[in-house]
Chain A
Amino acid sequence: MFNRESSLAGALKSSWLLAALLGAAIFPAQAQNASTIKLGIVSFLTGPAAAPFGIPGRNGAEVLIDAMNAGKVPAPFNKIGFGGTTVEAKYIDETGSAANVVTEFRNLVQRDQVEAVVGYISSGNCLAVTPVAEELKAITVFYDCGTPRIFEEKPRAYVFRVSPLSTIDNVGAARYLLAKKPDVTSYSGINQNYAWGQDSWRDFTGAMQVLAPKVTIDKSLFPKLFAGEYGAEISTLLTSSSPVLHTSFYDGDLEAFLYQEQARALDKRMTIIATTGEAAIWRLRDKMPDGTIIGARGPFGPLAPDSEFNRWFQKIYTDRYGTPPTYPAYQMVMSLLGLKLAYEKARKGDTKPTSDEIAASFKGIEFEGPAGVVKLAIGDGHQGIMGTAYGIYRFNKAKNEPEIVDIMRFPAECVNPPAGVTADDWIKDGMKGAKC
């Protein structure tokens, strides 16, 4: 088969197969319905980030869109779908290289002609999608990624993020720690060695430096992502005298670490601050050590303020999926509600609003959802700010369910940088202008 004859002519003639495949790829685009509003929902549906984040996010979208289409969402969101037109969601997996993610984004916008895309968990994917969204003038709402770089690198016109920055996670954690344990003298950290872990640790140490300059860092550990085995790290931490351990671990790494450290009673020596711990409580239950300081990347899940809206959302979600909603579900719901409001504000009569009209009405929007009030106050009106909350984990044996007690709330202006200041600079310069 390596003879000269087939060398170039070779596969050329088999392009019929290719044409068939391309045809098949185009075909789903034809099935369009003009009487609905199409949304692209992108989330991890496979891979390690699916179970803790991707699937709760998708479920949040599914349950809310069904409720919207039935007109059952509490006022002022009680119009059917988006402004009376039902919404049809197309779910796409976020797994794959940046090239795949960007290609699939283009496919949603140009092939499937969606009105807006809501999604993305990985900060790298958000950064890769942003310039394409701007180029295609496609309304895009990021729901879970937290990197401040999106709106700090350049002003954006069509990209929005209702969910707060990851900055609030660690500034909030530092404030909670110092409020509850003012006599702390040193702390340690274990974070995954990739952008998320590095950024989390930098924000936390930066905030601690500002709020309590005398407190020292003892051990700063960076095992590799998805290492799964932490024997050496736990040994190192057992030799540390610091009473507190900061971690931004999630899912498999968090579970593996907690199982392994409990066998060696590390949590009896130091209090663990798990900034994303809330996403794991319903699965870990009594395997999560009592006394762990838990965050939910904002006022989400059990840390969400009690309101009728919140109870309604918890009920419809729990009824459908058998487990209460965790923070990715809240982030998705808040993002969709923001988009719905902006869309309805931009809509005049029966014509569909353009991207520019939606963007104009989305900018600086403020509303109250199941997670409380959010305001798109920074990033030139494209980035939401919310307060955050931290609390202490207890497994309630009598009720046989997890609970978070001793909850402390921090207002939005207390944990977010003001408009026009980058998150890094704000922390470095002493968090000026914070109103707590």
Chain B
Amino acid sequence: MARHGRIAAGAALLLAAAAAFVLPDWIISLATIAFANGLVVLGLIVLWRAGLVSFGQALYYCIGAYAVALVGRATGVTDAFLLMLIGGAAAGLVAFVVGFLLARYREIFFAMLSLALSMILYGVLVKAESLGSTDGFSVASPTFFGYAPHQEKLLMALYWLVLAVCAIAAFLIDAYFRSVSGALAMPVRDNEIRVEFLGMSVSRLIHTKLVISGLLAGMGGALAAFAIGHVDPNMSYWTTSGEFVFITILSGAGSVVSAFVGSLAFESLRSFAFAMLPQLWQMLLGSVLLLTILFLPQGLGSLVTRLRWRRKAAAP
């Protein structure tokens, strides 16, 4: 089945890449931002499988974005690959450092502490007048190994870059979930003491997950900065983190692909709600989340599992 899964994922990837030729620009742009956010959600899924909910993932997202914008502004580097790696590395490094503290906390304490850390960054950025405070500042158009596209071509190049990064991330995280360290996520959630008695260090396991999720969120932030062309401190605000948690609940932790499907569904839903109910769009989003929790407690990803189970039950 795993092989089937990979073939299906590869086919979906090719389909998504080819869609850039057919779909209008606004959908490509929406999907670019949705998939960049999907990386952050993937990081949250890594944590969630170990029973941890981070309400401060915007910290790494914002660091990734600001790293891209600041390095670009200070050095004039515009290469998307280089900047993206810098953004991811910067966020991963911060995650590694704060991980020493965060890895010791669980449940609500973990959530609140991660929230507090992201709000510290928000506070610092808002006070930084030279960085435009809450207004933020713009990010130069990226280039791709010297290739400097514009308008529609830039949009497509970015979309494919985001797709490629998402595919690599999905593949690696899928492999991680199958590894011993990744597979120990649920035992950690269920009974930490038992895992310790197996000879594994729980805090090191969680620390690893924090760095992975930080890295993913940083890459997501870096790609989002390219796609939006602007960074501002709101990227680190708690509502941004809350939105990522929202998408994670919508997606479910069942598979790596659900992060991207959930993210795309969320962006489309919000866009639809904005157009339909300009003053009441939050109500529509809230109702969808509520219905998801009530009827699909395992998220959109669980739809498939349910279908398969029912089919098996119906077979003679």
Q: Show 13 residue pairs from A and B whose CB-CB distance is below 8 angstroms, ordered by the A residue.
A: A6-B305, A9-B4, A92-B274, A98-B231, A102-B228, A107-B26, A107-B271, A107-B274, A124-B136, A124-B230, A127-B132, A128-B228, A198-B133
Q: Does B25 contact A (CB under 8 A)?
A: yes
Chain B residues bordering chain A, tally (CB within 8 A): 79
B27 close to A22 (CB less than 8 A): yes
Q: Sorted from nearest, which 5 A-B pairs have the closest CB atoms?
A: A10-B255, A8-B5, A9-B5, A11-B258, A128-B230
A21 close to B272 (CB less than 8 A): yes
Q: Which residues of B contact A107 (CB under 8 A)?
A: 26, 30, 271, 274-275
Taking CB as reference atom, which chain B residue is nearest A111? B26
Q: Does B160 contact A (CB under 8 A)?
A: no
Contact of B228 among A11, A22, A99 (CB under 8 A): A99
A8 close to B6 (CB less than 8 A): yes
Shortest A239–chain B CB gap in Å is 24
Q: Which residues of B contact A399 (CB under 8 A)?
A: none
A8 close to B228 (CB less than 8 A): no
Contact of B240 among A26, A90, A97 (CB under 8 A): A97
Most buried by A among B255, B256, B269: B255
User: Of A12-20, A242-250, A342-350, A369-377, which stretch is located at the interface?
Assistant: A12-20
A195 close to B24 (CB less than 8 A): no
Shortest A118–chain B CB gap in Å is 15
Most buried by A among B4, B137, B258, B271: B271
Q: Does A131 contact B (CB under 8 A)?
A: yes
Q: Which residues of A contact B254 (CB under 8 A)?
A: 1-2, 6-7, 10-11
**A2-B254, A6-B255, A92-B274 given. 12 additional CB < 8 A pairs?**
A8-B256, A13-B307, A14-B303, A22-B264, A93-B279, A98-B136, A107-B30, A112-B275, A124-B136, A124-B230, A224-B123, A225-B134
Taking CB as reference atom, which chain B residue is nearest A23? B268
A13-B304, A93-B279 are known contacts. Are A21 and B268 too (CB-CB below 8 A)? yes
CA distance in complex: A401, B111 (Å): 50
Interface of A is mostly: helix
A21-B272, A198-B133 are known contacts. Are A7 and B304 too (CB-CB below 8 A)? no
A residues near B, CB below 8 A? 1-2, 4-15, 17-18, 21-22, 24-26, 28, 45-46, 90-93, 97-100, 102-104, 106-107, 109-112, 123-124, 127-128, 131-132, 135, 147, 149, 153, 193-196, 198, 224-225
Q: Which residues of A contact B33 (CB under 8 A)?
A: 99, 103
CA distance in complex: A132, B151 (Å): 9
Q: Does B192 contact A (CB under 8 A)?
A: no
B residues near A, CB below 8 A? 1-2, 4-6, 8-9, 12, 24-27, 29-30, 33, 37, 49, 123, 126-127, 129, 132-138, 150-151, 170, 174, 177-178, 186, 224, 227-232, 234-235, 240, 243, 251-258, 261-262, 264-265, 267-272, 274-276, 278-279, 281-282, 298, 300-305, 307
A45-B279, A98-B230 are known contacts. Are A15 and B12 too (CB-CB below 8 A)? yes
B261 close to A14 (CB less than 8 A): yes
Taking CB as reference atom, which chain B residue is nearest A26? B27
CA distance in complex: A107, B252 (Å): 28
Shortest A146–chain B CB gap in Å is 11
Shortest B93–chain A CB gap in Å is 24
Shortest A102–chain B CB gap in Å is 5
A14-B300, A110-B24 are known contacts. Are A149 and B135 too (CB-CB below 8 A)? yes
A7 close to B228 (CB less than 8 A): no
A99-B227, A111-B26, A194-B126 are known contacts. Are A11 and B269 too (CB-CB below 8 A)? no
Shortest A48–chain B CB gap in Å is 12
Q: Which residues of B contact A26 (CB under 8 A)?
A: 27
A7-B177, A14-B261 are known contacts. Are A124 and B2 too (CB-CB below 8 A)? no
Shortest B78–chain A CB gap in Å is 14
